[in-house]
Amino acid sequence: MAEPTQRLFFALWPSAELRAELLQAVTPMRDAAEGRLIPSENYHLTLAFLDRVPERLISDVVTAAKSVLFQPIDLALDCYGVFEQPQVLWYGSKELPVPLGALVSELREQLAPLVKLRPERIFRPHVSVVRKQSQLPNLEPPAKLFWQASDFVLVHSEYGPGRANYTVMERFSAASV
C-alpha cells in the first residue's frame, strides 16, 4: 500500500487584520481579472513548497524548521505581477528584504536532508490573488502595504471543491531582538 503523505508548504501567514488590508489593496486587480479569485482567507506568501511528505517524516520537518534562526521581517508589498505558468496573478514586492532571503535560504538548507525541494529559482516574494489568468490587467500601480512578520508557519494543503483548503499545523517564531 502507498505510504500516507501530506501536501505541505512553509509560508508567511497574514493576520486577520492584514488579510483584510490585502483584500482591499488587491481589489482593483480582482475587479479587472477574469480568472478564478483566490479567497482572502487563503492568502499567504510561500517560503518553501514541500509537496507530498511521507507522514513519518513530518515530525523531523517540524524539528528542522524549529532550528531555523531568523530575524523579524519587514516587507513592503508594492507591485502586481503575473506568472504565465502556472497562470497566477499576484501582489508582491519589488525588493527581497535581506532577512526574508536569509530565512528562505536557511529553511531550504535545513530541509534539504529530509525532503526533495525543487532547484532554487529566483525567490519572488508574492501573494497569489487570482488563478487561471496569464495576463496582467492594465492597472495603476497598487497601494503599498507593509507586512511585519515575526513568525512563519507550516501549512497542510488539501484540495477542496474548486479551491485549496489550508490548515496551519505549526508556527515558528523569530529570534527576539
Residues lying near ligand ATP in the complex (CB under 6 A): 7, 9, 46, 49, 118, 128, 131, 157, 159, 164
By C-beta, is 133 or 157 nearer to ligand ATP? 157
Bridge partner residues of 166 (DSSP): 157
> Of 123 and 172, which CB lies nearer to ligand ATP in the complex structure?
123
CA distances (Å), origin 123, targets 68, 69, 92, 96, 103: 18, 19, 11, 8, 11
Shortest CB 160 distance to ligand ATP, Å? 8
| Residue showing the smallest CB distance to ligand ATP in the complex | 157
In the bound complex, what is the minimum distance in angstroms from residue 102's beta carbon to ligand ATP?
A: 19
DSSP characters for 40-62? GGG--EEEEEEEEEEGGGHHHHH
Cell of 164: 485549496
> Could you tell me the smallest distance in angstroms from the CB atom of residue 177 to ligand ATP?
28
Nearer to ligand ATP, 105 or 175 (CB): 105
Find how far residue 150's CA is from the centre of its chain. 15
